[in-house]
Amino acid sequence: MKIPSPAGWAESSGRTVSWWLLGPGLLWMGLLFFVPLCLVVVISFAGRGTYGGIVWSFSLTNYLDLLHPLYARILGQSILMAAGTTLLCLIMGFPLAYYIARAAPGRQRIWLLLVMIPFWTNFLVRTYAWMFILRTEGLLNTLLLKLGLIAAPIELLYSNTAVVIGLVYGYLPFMVLPLYVALERMDRTLVEAAWDLYATRWAVFWRIILPLTRPGVIAGCLLVFIPSLGAFLTPDLLGGARSMMIGNLIQHEFLVARDWPLGAAISCVLMLCVVGMMSWSLRTAKPLSQREHES
């Protein structure tokens, strides 16, 4: 009989410890994520009962119903608003993250604390606060009237503009933090070398800073775009009946129309879109040499 070597014992023991460490997390994710996800996929192929129940018969009717122009319009509007939110967060978040990354260590901690302070308050409370700010008799209109900048209150609440404002406010920290990490790790000597070679500000940004921080940009865009695409609380409170996104449609199908199969089908389509975007972003975030080697 062959006696295992000490190295073999150590390797086997290491694998056992690894599985014990992974076990609780895998069990939790399996029971509370994978199993419900499989249930949603199965329900998406079922039929709707007469009184809102589920008829367990395989059918593609729910996915064919999504070809209706109404659902296409809601999906297109959701993608457009999520993309606009992501672009605004990137435009505002990049300069802020760049300033924080170049600040002294003590000031960096203060600025990062200010960025994360909104997380100390419930998201629902913060959204209600924006309702008081944007309404006709709210703080913003009152201030603009006092300053004489407008003659009559502006209708901001219950519009797509209010939804985008709420989404940008809610998800801006998710853009700033990844960008800060990428800018903090950036080799500043490359920027100094570009200045020494008389590069313009645009050339330094476009050819040095942006390529070096591309993983942070992609991570921030994903962290903003994905939750913005599936948001339902902010559009419901700030958009009202005038604005509906894909998240509100899913909520309506499950809780109001009681059409669980159609709501599950919409959820599956949304998840497929998210998975596709994440796959594209992971490939895009790879170094150029690695992508050329794989291709």
Strand partners, 47: 55
The beta-strand segments (E) located in 101-250 are none
Number of domains making up the chain: 1
Please give the C-alpha separations between residue 294 and each of 41, 226, 276, 283, 285, in angstroms, as whole numbers. 32, 27, 19, 10, 14
Q: Is the pLDDT higher at 10 or at 243?
A: 243
In a domain, 23, yes or no: no
In a domain, 121, yes or no: yes
Kind of pairing between the strands at 54-55 and 47-48:
antiparallel
In a domain, 8, yes or no: no
The pLDDT of 256-269, averaged and rounded, is 91
User: What pLDDT digit, counting tens, does each position of 44-93 carry?
Assistant: 999 888 777 888 888 888 899 888 898 889 988 999 999 999 999 999 99
Q: Is the pLDDT higher at 176 or at 56?
A: 176
User: What pLDDT digit, counting tens, does each position of 123-141 carry?
Assistant: 889 999 999 999 888 888 8
Q: How far apart are the first and last CA of the chain?
A: 48
In a domain, 113, yes or no: yes
Q: Which domain holds residue 203?
A: 58-287
In a domain, 28, yes or no: no
Query: Could you tell me the CATH number of the domain that includes residue 153?
Result: 1.10.3720.10
Q: Check residue 225 and give its pLDDT.
A: 93
- Residue 148's identity, in one-letter code, is G
In a domain, 104, yes or no: yes
User: What pLDDT digit, counting tens, does each position of 141-173 carry?
Assistant: 899 888 888 888 888 888 899 999 999 999 999
Q: Check residue 289 and give its pLDDT.
A: 44
Contact indicator for 259, 53 with CB cutoff of 8 Å: no
The pTM for the full model equals 0.83
Place of tokens 């895998």: 26
In a domain, 40, yes or no: no
C-alpha 164/C-alpha 119 separation (Å) is: 19
**Per-residue confidence band for 288, with pLDDT thresholds at 50, 70 and 90:** very low
User: What pLDDT digit, counting tens, does each position of 191-227 carry?
Assistant: 888 888 888 888 888 888 888 899 899 999 999 999 9
